[in-house]
Amino acid sequence: MLWNEPFSSRILVDTLARGQSLIGDWSGSRMHNHEHNTYTYLKISMDWLIEGMTAFEGDIYYVSLWAAVKETWTKHCDKAEFFSSENVKVFESINMDTNDMWLMMRKAYKYAFDKYRDQYNWFFLARPTTFAIIENLKYFLLKKDPSQPFYLGHTIKSGDLEYVGMEGGIVLSIESMKRLNSLLNIPEKCPEQGGMIWKISEDKQLAVCLKYAGVFAENAEDADGKDVFNTKSVGLSIKEAMTYHPNQVVEGCCSDMAVTFNGLTPNQMHVMMYGVYRLRAFGHIFNDALVFLPPNGSDND
Partner 1 sequence: MLCSFQNTLSEMASKSWLNFLTFLYGSAIGFLLCSQLFSILLGEEGDTQSNVLHNDPYARHSDDNGQNHLEGQMNFNADSSQRKDENIDITENLYQQVKILCWVMTGPQNLEKKAKHVKVTWVQHCHKVSEENKDFPAVGLKTKEGRDQLYWKTVKPFQYVHEHHLEDVDWFLKADDDTYFILDNLRWLLSKSDSKEPIYCGRRFKPFVKQGYMSGEAGYLLSKEGLKRFVDAFKTDKCTHNSSIEDLAMGICMEIINVEAGDSRDATGKKPFHPFVTFWYWNYNYYPPVGGPGCCSDLAVSFHYVDFTTEYVLEYLIYHLRPNIYLYRYQATLPENILKEIGQANKNEGTKVKLGNP
**Cα-Cα-Cα-Cα dihedral sign, residues 13, 15, 18, 23:** negative
Closer by beta carbon to partner 1, 28 or else 297 = 297
Closer by beta carbon to partner 1, 96 or else 220 = 220
Closer by beta carbon to partner 1, 15 or else 93 = 15
> Which amino acid, residue 236?
L
Task: Please give the distance of CA 62 from its chain centroid, rounded to a whole number.
Answer: 15
135 binds partner 1 (CB under 8 A): yes
* 146-175 residues near partner 1, rule: CB under 8 A: none
- Could you tell me if 219 and 155 are in contact, meaning their C-beta atoms sit under 8 angstroms apart? yes
Report the Cα–Cα distance between both ends of the chain, in Å, rounded.
25
197 binds partner 1 (CB under 8 A): no
* Measured CA distances, 5 to 64, 77, 156, 237, 238 (Å): 17, 29, 30, 16, 15
Closer by beta carbon to partner 1, 21 or else 29 = 21
* 254-273 residues near partner 1, rule: CB under 8 A: 254-258, 270-271, 273
- Could you tell me if 44 and 139 are in contact, meaning their C-beta atoms sit under 8 angstroms apart? no
Q: State the nearest-atom distance from the C-beta of 20 to partner 1, in Å.
A: 11
235 binds partner 1 (CB under 8 A): yes
* 72-91 residues near partner 1, rule: CB under 8 A: 78
> Which amino acid, residue 216?
F
Contacts with 278 (C-beta within 8 Å, 6 or more apart), sequence order: 301
Contacts to partner 1 by CB under 8 A: 2-3, 6-7, 10-15, 17-18, 48, 78, 133, 135-136, 139, 223, 234-235, 238-239, 241-242, 247-251, 253-258, 270-271, 273-296, 299-301
